[in-house]
């Protein structure tokens, strides 16, 4: 190996090590699957549909976010997290047909804690988040056309909800600037704003990658 290549390699390693040591900001992307339940007893009504309801729908899609770890307390790092999710499925909350599908669009902020382990590449964390969740619960859509059997079309009607979520996950360090998010498990729910009081529990599973920024 030439002297120039050796110097370049050493410089690259030095920069990556410095980024890893200083990095407190991370951005991440994940594949997410949700289960939204307790929809059979929802007070929401679609007057155009008489089919029996199922009790859950399983929208899936992407979650992206950014976090900033700002405080170290012994083996624990505390930080703030901001994330958004777009989750959809063509299967709605009715037994005999798909209806308009199901959607959950979320914007959440929260606090997180990362724990130092004896094996440094392992980074378990917990988090609590709250924010705005918009959903049709797999039930609500407008009449965008009528089929031969009287089932209506699939233009969604979205309701605003208070969304909350408790999270636990595990990251594994692959490179100084890259972690593999092996799993993230979440449990929370949607509580609608307005008069149709109800609780729609949410179970969530995600996996993805985390990139550390040199800030």
Residue 119, C-beta contacts closer than 8 angstroms, at least 6 positions apart: none
Q: Residue 9 has what pLDDT?
A: 46
Is 7 part of any domain?
Answer: no
d(CA 74, CA 167) in angstroms, rounded, equals 22
Is 89 part of any domain?
Answer: yes
Q: Residue 189 has what pLDDT?
A: 98
Is 10 part of any domain?
Answer: no
Is 95 part of any domain?
Answer: yes
Nearest CA among 145, 70, 59, 134 for reference residue 102: 59
CATH number at residue 98: 2.40.160.20
* Element holding 8 (H helix, E strand): helix 3-22
Note the pLDDT tens digit of each residue in 75-99.
999 999 999 999 999 998 888 777 7
Average pLDDT of the chain?
86
Is the pLDDT assigned to residue 29 strictly greater than 60?
A: yes
Average pLDDT over residues 163-185: 97
Range of the domain at 137: 24-213
Is 8 part of any domain?
Answer: no
Is 113 part of any domain?
Answer: yes
Note the pLDDT tens digit of each residue in 41-59.
999 887 667 788 899 999 9
Is 9 part of any domain?
Answer: no
Q: Residue 48 has what pLDDT?
A: 67
- Find the Cα–Cα–Cα–Cα dihedral 203, 205, 209, 212, rounded to 10°: 30
Domain count, the chain: 1
H-assigned helices in the chain: 3-22
CB atoms within 10 A of CB 35: 14
> Cβ(162)–Cβ(193) under 8 Å?
yes
> Cβ(161)–Cβ(189) under 8 Å?
no
Is 194 part of any domain?
Answer: yes
> Cβ(93)–Cβ(110) under 8 Å?
no
Phi, psi of 24 (to 5 degrees): -120, -10
Q: Residue 122 has what pLDDT?
A: 97
Phi, psi of 158 (to 5 degrees): -100, 135
């Amino acid at each position: 190996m030439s002297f120039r290549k050796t110097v370049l390699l050493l410089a690259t390693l030095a920069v990556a090590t410095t980024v890893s040591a200083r990095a407190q900001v991370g951005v991440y992307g994940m594949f997410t699957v949700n289960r939204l339940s307790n929809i059979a007893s929802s007070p929401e009504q679609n007057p155009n549909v008489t089919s029996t309801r199922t009790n859950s729908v399983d929208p899936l899609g992407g979650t992206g976010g950014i976090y900033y770890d700002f405080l170290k307390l012994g083996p624990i790092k505390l930080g703030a997290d901001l994330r958004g999710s777009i989750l959809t499925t063509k299967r709605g909350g009715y037994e005999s047909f798909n209806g308009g599908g199901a959607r959950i669009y979320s914007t959440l902020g929260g606090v997180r804690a990362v724990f130092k382990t004896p094996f440094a590449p392992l980074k378990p964390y917990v988090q609590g988040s709250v924010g705005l969740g918009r959903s049709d619960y797999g039930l609500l859509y407008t009449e965008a056309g009528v089929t031969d059997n009287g089932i209506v079309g699939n233009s969604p009607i979205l309701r605003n909800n208070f969304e909350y979520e408790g999270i636990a996950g595990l990251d594994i360090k692959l490179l100084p600037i890259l972690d593999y998010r092996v799993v993230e498990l979440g449990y929370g729910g949607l509580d609608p704003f307005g008069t149709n009081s109800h609780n729609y529990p949410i179970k969530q599973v995600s996996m993805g990658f985390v990139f550390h920024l040199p800030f």
